[in-house]
A = this chain, B = another copy of it.
């Protein structure tokens, strides 16, 4: 596979033509370049007759305003950068699409970049994007908090899935989700539960550990933390053996990918889910409904997060336009801006990958033993009113 076969190779003169600028249009329509400029950026300032003439010339010259040059002087690019930890993770597409749609409504474009979960790439991308966008959405960053704060002085930032003091953040209450998941498992009669950790530098990871640990203690269950692991299918299947050896009867995974990988891995070892081990994921990605057994998972409001993040960025942006020292405007130092932190609720969605554990109450023996093929619909437990987030940890 992947063998290359060159079918055709020709040369032609059909290149991108010489770029046509505002000057060419001005010359063609016999007006000054400033009039052409106004025709596009402030049409009400130019005489209707001239306007149509200019537009006509622009049309058949194929003129398009150079957005980069425009940005140089206005300080606004009308672009938003969206930096994503791993574009192959089905968690992100809904977020991306929601952000794009929200941005489009506000006449902005979104440029997405993928970091492969690598902090160095993350930093580099922020620098690369800095002057070409009006702000950057940092999704599930793997950098340290201090580096994020530092970068935020270079370009307006909104952080998703991480809490950074002084910066606008969109958080999902995975703590509450993890607690609901553990309570669900405890309620099913599980007393030995494993938590499959994700990347070490993930805020979500820390929140889950904290909340799952507390919930386990409250439920008199024992929680084993396994990890950190790569937050991928491979990362999940890689720990299957370890999970089996640990002797737990239920697992809460960092995300759906790991949960699915774990189910795969356990299956290969001959361990049945949910009969022998129950598995819970996080994200409620499209995947969770497609695999068998269907995954019990903590639903995160991904699309809402995308929309909210864009809103927060644009709001902040509008208040303090970049390059605020216009001609004659003096130097505007330290523009005030508002930084809000928003916490979104999560839901536990119960499907077929969780079942009764070794300490299940024998009451209602039939109803209490819903096999993976049981026809009951998905059950949703709404998370409780969100709590205030834990104080931000010192570093990462």
Which A residues have a C-beta under 8 Å from some C-beta of B? 1-19, 62, 64, 66-69, 71-72, 77, 79, 87-88, 90, 93-94, 96-97, 100, 109-114, 116, 125, 127-128, 130-132, 149, 152-156, 166, 171, 233, 260, 264, 286-287, 290-292, 299, 301, 303-304, 308, 320, 322-325, 331-347, 382, 385-386, 388-389
In the complex where A90-B88, A111-B111, A233-B286 touch, is A336 in contact with B11 (Cβ < 8 A)?
Answer: yes
In the complex where A18-B325, A87-B87, A332-B18 touch, is A5 in contact with B166 (Cβ < 8 A)?
Answer: no
Kindly list chain B residues whose C-beta atoms are within 8 Å of the C-beta of A2: 301, 303-304, 344-345
For the complex formed by this chain, how many copies does it contain in all?
A: 2
Bound-complex Cα distance A344 to B344 (A): 45
Contact: A15 with B335, CB < 8 Å? Answer: yes
Of B18, B291, B342, which is within 8 A of A6 by CB?
A: B342
Kindly list chain B residues whose C-beta atoms are within 8 Å of the C-beta of A331: 18
In the complex where A153-B14, A344-B2 touch, is A67 in contact with B131 (Cβ < 8 A)?
Answer: yes
Of B5, B15, B88, which is within 8 A of A342 by CB?
A: B5
Kindly list chain B residues whose C-beta atoms are within 8 Å of the C-beta of A336: 11-13, 15
Expressed in whole angstroms, the minimum distance between the Cβ of A257 and any Cβ of chain B is 9
15 pairs, A vs B, C-beta closer than 8 Å: A2-B301, A4-B344, A5-B343, A6-B342, A7-B341, A7-B388, A9-B338, A14-B149, A18-B324, A18-B333, A67-B131, A68-B71, A97-B114, A100-B113, A109-B113
Bound-complex Cα distance A244 to B234 (A): 36
Of B93, B153, B389, which is within 8 A of A62 by CB?
A: B153
- A5, A171, A385, A386: residue with the most chain B Cβ atoms closer than 10 Å: A5
Contact: B153 with A334, CB < 8 Å? Answer: no
Of B14, B18, B334, which is within 8 A of A152 by CB?
A: B14
Contact: B166 with A1, CB < 8 Å? Answer: no
